């Protein structure tokens, strides 16, 4: 399999994120979405991992299917909370046996189910990154929060901790944000402490006002007042999507102009917004 680190070394990457479906109907929707996005020739796609490993098998099955039955390079998310080292080793051994060697190493959250107190050998994502680096020749990505991780005590410690991860990892993918200055500031602050590892900005087009605002609150991403004002009196879902696509297209263009090494789209398992942004940017036939 092509490693994402190598893809980044050869130029900008354009990638999509999916989550494992929970029902047969959601599975069909996702398969349709992947079929619609595959002709755009994404550099890679990523598949999320549920809290406490709650989607362990479904994540594995989807990543393996993408690798086996499509032309797309997949990356598996992997969280450390609620996992022992032998469990992580078993997961990685399975992935490697199936030709999958791109991993996004995350801290994650405890499961909300009854198994949330499962034992863990890891405290932070950094622990998982170090373990994976020592275990196998993987292309390892980590998460970055342009506006700080919501649990970070202050900006300085947030950047220092991220810098530690990036000195070992191959790349980062950011949490979504809505203004280019957040990304530029992140890159500059890391450069100031000698870290130049590629950081791919994550893009979340607004397609549902209340949903994105909730997700913003959970992730620590500010929902800017100018965007809230623009959407305030809009009740038509199609108009909400049009505004969301237009503002995301503008953000993407600005990010590429300032030298971002790619774009990573949070699709929510739907393709329309991403396909339209691709078309707006002239990437569909690139």
Which of the residues are catalytic? 17
Q: Give me the helix-helix angle, 237-257 and 180-192, nearest 10°.
A: 30
The 10 Å Cβ neighbour count of residue 131 is 17
The 10 Å Cβ neighbour count of residue 87 is 17
Give the chain as a 3 state SS string. CCCHHHHHHCCCEEEEEECCCCCHHHHHHHHHHHHHHHHHCCCEEEECCCHHHCCHHHHHHHHHHHHHHCCCCEEEEEECCCCCHHHHHHHHHHHHHCCCCEEEEECCCCCCCCCCCCCCCCCCHHHHHHHHHHHCCCEEEEEECCCCCCCCCCHHHHHHHHHHHHCCCCEEEEEECCCHHHHHHHHHHHHHCCCCCCEEEEECCCCCHHHHHHHHHHHCCCCCHHHHHHHCCCCCHHHHHHHHHHHHHHHHHHHHHCCCCEEEEECCCCCHHHHHHHHHHCCCCC
């Amino acid at each position: 399999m092509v490693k994402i680190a190598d893809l980044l070394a050869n130029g900008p990457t354009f990638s999509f994120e999916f989550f494992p479906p929970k029902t047969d109907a959601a599975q069909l929707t996702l398969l349709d979405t992947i079929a619609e996005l595959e002709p755009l020739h994404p550099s890679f796609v990523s598949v999320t991992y549920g809290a406490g490993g709650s989607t362990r098998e479904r994540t594995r099955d989807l990543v393996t299917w993408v690798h086996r039955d499509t032309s797309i390079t997949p990356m598996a998310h992997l969280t450390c909370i609620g996992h022992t080292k032998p469990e992580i080793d078993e997961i990685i051994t399975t992935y490697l046996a199936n030709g999958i060697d791109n991993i996004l190493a995350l801290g994650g959250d405890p499961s909300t189910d009854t198994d949330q107190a499962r034992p863990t050998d890891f405290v932070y994502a950094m622990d998982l990154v170090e373990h994976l680096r020592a275990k196998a020749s993987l292309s390892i990505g980590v998460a970055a929060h342009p506006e700080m991780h919501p649990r970070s005590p202050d900006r300085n410690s947030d950047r220092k901790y991220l810098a530690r991860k990036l000195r070992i990892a191959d790349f980062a993918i950011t949490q979504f944000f809505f203004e280019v200055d957040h990304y530029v500031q992140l890159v500059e602050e890391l450069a100031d402490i000698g870290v130049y590892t590629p950081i791919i900005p994550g893009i979340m087009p607004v397609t549902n006002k209340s949903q994105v605002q909730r997700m913003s609150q959970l992730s620590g991403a500010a929902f800017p007042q100018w965007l809230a004002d623009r959407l305030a009196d809009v009740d038509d879902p199609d108009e909400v999507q049009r505004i969301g696509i237009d503002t995301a297209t503008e953000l993407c263009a600005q990010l590429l102009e300032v030298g971002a090494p790619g774009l990573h789209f949070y699709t929510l398992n739907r393709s329309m917004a991403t396909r339209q942004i691709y078309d707006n940017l002239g990437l569909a036939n690139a």
